[in-house]
Amino acid sequence: MRLTLRPLLAISLLLPFAACPALAASIGSFALNGKNVQLTCATLVPMPGTDGVMRMVLVLSEKSPKPGVEANTASTQGELGASLSAVLLKFEGENWENSTGFSYTHPDLKKPSGYCDASACKLERIEVNGGEFSAHLVAEPVAGSSGNALAFDMNLRVKMP
């Protein structure tokens, strides 16, 4: 019996991590109105391109999505705890960019979700090397577009989809 439990335990410990390409003790903290939440999962979700523009969604979340569940959908439905998500675009000959901003959910938020435009929530130093997306995400502790005070500063490294 001892031999059969060890493989099952090893498999059960690996399953929660399969849905999140970047999982760490903490990617960084996401503060809303002074209340911090640690984000632990970073995922890039591919989207169909339009008019030659490649697209994907960056999802940073407190919880990993369940196997078989798309991270972006789970994020917008509040299933991942606190989360930040943004559509990233790549125009031909250019690098990935976030020109629109971030949607977010947070336990301190009174509405289902909030929004922070790209002038307040900035994705900087974006690079893709060796199949890995890296960037610096920062928001100053000032009120975002939804009237909530956001603050975060994260260095991201996520496997490309």
Q: Would you say 139 and 120 are in contact if contact means Cβ atoms under 8 Å apart?
A: yes
pLDDT mean values, one per 10 residues, the chain (161 residues): 36 37 68 88 92 93 90 88 93 89 86 84 92 90 62 91 90
Check residue 142 and give its pLDDT. 58
3-state SS class at 17:
helix
pTM: 0.79
Check residue 21 and give its pLDDT. 55
First-residue to last-residue Cα distance in the chain: 40
Nearest to 59 by CA among 76, 81, 42, 39: 42
C-alpha distances out from residue 14 to 11, 19, 88, Å: 5, 10, 29
Q: Would you say 76 and 100 are in contact if contact means Cβ atoms under 8 Å apart?
A: no
Check residue 60 and give its pLDDT. 94
Check residue 15 and give its pLDDT. 31
